[in-house]
Amino acid sequence: MTEKVFYQDSYQQTLNTTITAVQADRIEFAATIFYPLGGGQPGDQGTVSCNGSSLNIVDTRKGETADAISHQLESETHELQIGDEVTLKLDWERRYKHMRMHTCMHLLGSLIPVPVTGGSVGAEKSRLDFDIGDNQLDKEDLTIRLNELVQSETTLALESITDEELDQNPSLVRTMSVQPPRGAGTIRMIRIGDIDYQPCGGTHLSNTSEIGPVRVSKIENKGKRNRRVHLVFDD
């Protein structure tokens, strides 16, 4: 099991921890600040340092055992061993862009109150797919309303509900393709004031203003009912 420090503090950029598993170029630590690929958000990159030498971590994935997180090294050639004390450092520039994009996806979803069928977050661009039905979407109108939400300087809060409470309120789950993990007893909920409230395991900003200016760059038809909304930073 890997302690997920990014769940308590998504802004922590370095961490001292210990190696708990080594398998060729994949390493597990007692704790990590690296977010693993999931929910449309890429796995984090960065470095692991031990005894003065530093190695690149090129990807982060969920591990083979429950609750483990696997960190992919650039090379299989290394001397890291179980028990080694190491320092992890995030590629913060990349991760912070993911946080800005991911948080903005919540805002975008709040403006289009239909089921979300898929999505992808990137450091430069992101997209969200909607089962739109007969609704119409307008690029310029969405861009204006999205930036208004960004500029509303709304604080994000981390909350939790029980599995049963979620079962009784299934409409809280916006993303049809990603169901929140059950079995732990509680579900992690993200509240953005009165804009959005849903289960989410991603990494978020603490305030919407940090997203900065954004623009809906394209709305694509993906079949009769589906629309793909593309988003970019506009700074």
Specify the pairing of strand 69-73 against strand 125-131.
unpaired
Distance (Å, rounded) from C-alpha 133 to C-alpha 117? 12
Nearest approach, Cβ of 40 to Zn ion (angstroms)? 10
- Residue closer to Zn ion, measured from CB, 29 or 130: 130
Q: How far is the CB of 127 from Zn ion (least distance, A)?
A: 15
Least distance (Å) between residue 105 CB and Zn ion: 7
Residue bearing tokens 């970019």: 232
Residue with tokens 């007692």: 30
Among residues 48, 150, 200, 229, which is the contact residue for Zn ion, using CB under 5 A?
200
Buried/exposed 152-174: b ≥16 CB within 10 Å, e otherwise: eebebeeeebeeeebeeeeeebb
Contact flag: residue 73 with Zn ion (CB under 5 A): no
**Residues numbered 132-161 forming contacts with Zn ion, rule: CB under 5 A:** none
Q: CB-wise, 19 or 200, nearer to Zn ion?
A: 200
Binding residue for Zn ion (CB under 5 A) from 2, 28, 202, 228? 202
Among the residue ranges 20-28, 79-87, 130-138, 195-203, the one whose residues contact Zn ion (CB under 5 A): 195-203
Ordered DSSP codes for 34-64? PPPSBTTBPPP-EEEEETTEEEEEEEEEE-S
Beta bridge partners of 109: none
Our CB check for Zn ion shows the closer of 204 and 227 to be 204
Output 46 or 202, the one with its CB closest to Zn ion: 202
> Which is closer to Zn ion, CB of 43 or CB of 202?
202
3-state secondary structure of 192: strand
Which residues of this chain interact with Zn ion, rule CB under 5 A?
200, 202
